[in-house]
Every structure is written in structure tokens, then in C-alpha cells.
Amino acid sequence: MSTRGALFDPVFGATGVAQQLSDQAWITALLDVEAALSCATAAVGVADGDHCAAVAAAAAELSRPGAIDVDALGRAAAAGGNPVIPLVKILRARVARDGVPAAVVHPGATSQDVMDCALMLLVRRAGTLVLADLTRAADSAAHLAAVHRSTPMVARTLGQQALPTTFGLLASSWFTALDAAAVRLDIALSTLPVQFGGAAGTLAASYPDGMKVSDALADELGLERRAVPWHTDRVTIAELATTFGIVAGAVSKPATDIVAMASTELSEVSELVPGGSSTMPHKRNPVAAVTARAAARRAPALVATTLSAMDHEFARAAGAWHAEWETVTDLVRSAGGAAHQLSASLTGLQVHPEAMARNLDLTGGAILAERVTAKLSAHTDQAREIVTAAATSGISLDQDPTIARYLSPAELTELLDPAHYLGHATDLVARALAERPTGESR
């Protein structure tokens, strides 16, 4: 389900990215492609340079908000199944006033060429904002890891207290995943390809200059050149979809942790600007993390839809191609909103070490049962059974008479100190920070 619009975009963090994916943004991108195509033909010497300059100027004029009636264009697009057909008519009519022949507009192209190139421009423009938010979120998490590399807290597995860890190590799991997603997104955005194949991918209408026009079009748009058109080879689209799906997944992990850690019972973190409730004045909801999760949760279905539409038949798909336009842009919108909201959540996240220490003490030392068992095993082969019985009885391990038979009070005090059983937690944080490609590394 799309949440496009002024009512929900701010809630899910998509205000900025939505502007780059709006109906007006689509029109602008389509016109940018048409202008670039005319300039490409001039660059290879098969069209008049002045005519192509006039097309570029007209396209810029028509790109201004309100210059084209979006509703009317949408209705006109229904007849041919895409907005390129009526948009080309509008552009040709506009340049005709300057004496530019109709053939200079949309030369040798098919609608899919323009739609696919426009989608690449939209993804790049919106994706740049997503990448910036993702990087800010990773930097904030890395800062938390650096500051709290040795702050003890509970490590939880399967929803239960497991062993002591540090908040810095948990935050390291956040920023390493966010960094990995950012690297993949940066690669995807920097390798977006041009699309130009003509009616059936043979460049027949542009022969013998079609391949030169394709390369010139790529250069005009700042897209990668392609050896052959990819009209029905949708690996590019699938890679984009999975990349934004990875972004959403990398975002949802820390958002989920923050929501749980901000609960009243744990109270280990809180957002700098928490949200309230319409009826409960005491509520301090981690709204940014909550809405980051909400935005990210829509991504997997959109990824699946995109992958399911890869079966484009022959030289042009009947329906599968059309299914991509809103699916991909909604995916970018959802992943982008999630990254933005996580960035807001992590920026200034309040960490409460005293609550973490309190939660470490909840089990009366049972969280260190592994360590006590290892020490006790030097004295008896029944170490595991003895410690298990004590841990399940509710008796603090340092008060259990059977354990006390083998270990002194001083030994138990040292064994049950969470700060003395953190393993390589601080070392792992230091290594993760040192290996970051950019940003926080101290």
C-alpha cells in the first residue's frame, strides 16, 4: 500500500525523498531524458544543434510546476499505457512554435527508453537523499559505540537474558550493517545504466548511428553506457529493488532494538524528542524508531513484487514493465523514509547506563552462570547440574550453599561482576570502528 501524500509522508520520514519521486518529479525526469536525447543526436552529428538547444529550453520550461496539467496528462496517458506518448505530443507542439521539426523530439526512441531512463534519474536523485540519511544514521550509531564501548548491558538471545555485553558492541552491530547497506546503495546509484533500444531493441530507427546515440545519451544523463538495450533484461531493476530492501532491513534492526530498549520495563535508551499520546500524558514513545520500523516493513513486499515482475517476454513486456514504475518508487520512498526516521532516532539517542546496570542485576547473578560453571568445573564434575539447580531455584548464585561449598565469597563476588565477563566486547568495538570506510573511527 502506498502512503503517498502530504498526510503520511512526514509521519514515515518520506517528505524529502517524496519530493524527488512525485508526479511532478516524474514529468521533470521524462522531459530531462527527451532533452538529453535531442542533445545526444546533435552530439553525434545527426541533428541540428540549434534545434536541440530549443528542445532543451522547451523541456526546461515545461518542467516548471504547473506548466503541465498533471491530471490531464495522466488521463491522456491511459490510452497508450504510459505518459511518454502524450508528453511527447506536448513537447513537439511547444517546439513547433520555434520552427523545430517534430522529428527532433524523441528521435529513434520508444516509450520504454524514456521511462526507464527517467526512472534511473529519479532513483539517483532520491537515492542520494537516502544514502545521506543512511550515512548519518551509521555515523550516529558509530558515535554511540565509541562512547559506550565499555558500558555493560545485558545481551539478550531469544528474548531472554544471556550474558553481559556492552552497549557499544550492540551499537557496533547497528553501524556495521548500516555501513554495508550504504556501500551497496552507493554502488547501485553510481552504476545506473542508460536505456536506448528503439521499438524492439534493434535501434533500427537510429541506424547506422544508434549505438553512438545511445552512448551520447548516457553521457548527457550521467548514466552508464550499456552494450545492449535491457528492455526485457530486468536484472538492473531487481538489483535496485534488493539494494533498497537491504537498506530497509539494515534500518529495521536498530529501530527494533531501540523500541524494545525504550520500553518502560527496560528504560535503557530514550529518544531525544519522544512522542506523546493523545490520552496518556505519561507516555514517552520512541516515535522515530517506531515509524522507521513501519516504513521498513513495507519494503519486503515491494521487493517481492519487483522480483516477480522480472519475466518480461520477448522484446517488450505486456504488464510486467508497467508494474515496476510505482513499485520501485514506493520502495525507494519506504526505505528512504525508514533511513530518515532512524537517523532522527539515533541522533541524540539518550543512553541510560544505570538502567542497564539494574537490568544486569535482575537475575541475581544467573546471567553469569556460564562463568560460575566454568570455575566450578575445576572442583566437581557436577558443576553444570549444581549451577542449573541454583539458577532455576531463584536463589542468588552467591547465596547457594552447594556452590559456596566449592567457591569462596570473594571468588563469587569477582565471578558475578558483569564488567569482568565481557570477553572481547571492547576489542570488537575498536576493530569495527577502525575498519569503518568513513566517519566515526575513534
Q: What is the pLDDT of residues 358-403, one digit of tens each?
A: 999 998 888 999 999 999 999 999 999 999 999 888 888 999 999 9
Please report the pLDDT score of residue 279 as a whole number: 47
Q: Which residues contact 393 (CB under 8 A, 6 or more apart)?
A: 400
pLDDT at 284 over 80: no
Please report the pLDDT score of residue 275 as a whole number: 57
What global pTM score does this model have? 0.93
Q: Which residues are catalytic?
A: 277, 316
- Closest by CA to 71, choosing from 9, 28, 118, 24, is 24
- Closest by CA to 92, choosing from 46, 38, 40, 49, is 38
For residue 269, give the H/E element and its range.
strand 269-270
pLDDT > 70 fraction of the chain, expressed in percent and rounded: 96
Please report the pLDDT score of residue 282 as a whole number: 52
- Nearest-angstrom CA–CA distance, 238 and 230: 12
Mean pLDDT of 89-109: 97
User: How does residue 5 score in pLDDT terms, banded at 50, 70 and 90?
Assistant: confident
Q: What is the pLDDT of residues 327-342, one digit of tens each?
A: 999 999 999 999 999 9
- Tell me the domain boundaries of the chain: 15-353, 365-415
Question: CATH 1.25.40.80: does it fit domain 15-353?
Answer: no
- Nearest-angstrom CA–CA distance, 136 and 142: 10
Q: Which three cell numbers stand for residue 86?
A: 502524450
Average pLDDT, the chain: 94
> What does each C-alpha distance from 303 to 104, 181, 231, 238, 241 come to in angstroms?
38, 15, 19, 8, 5
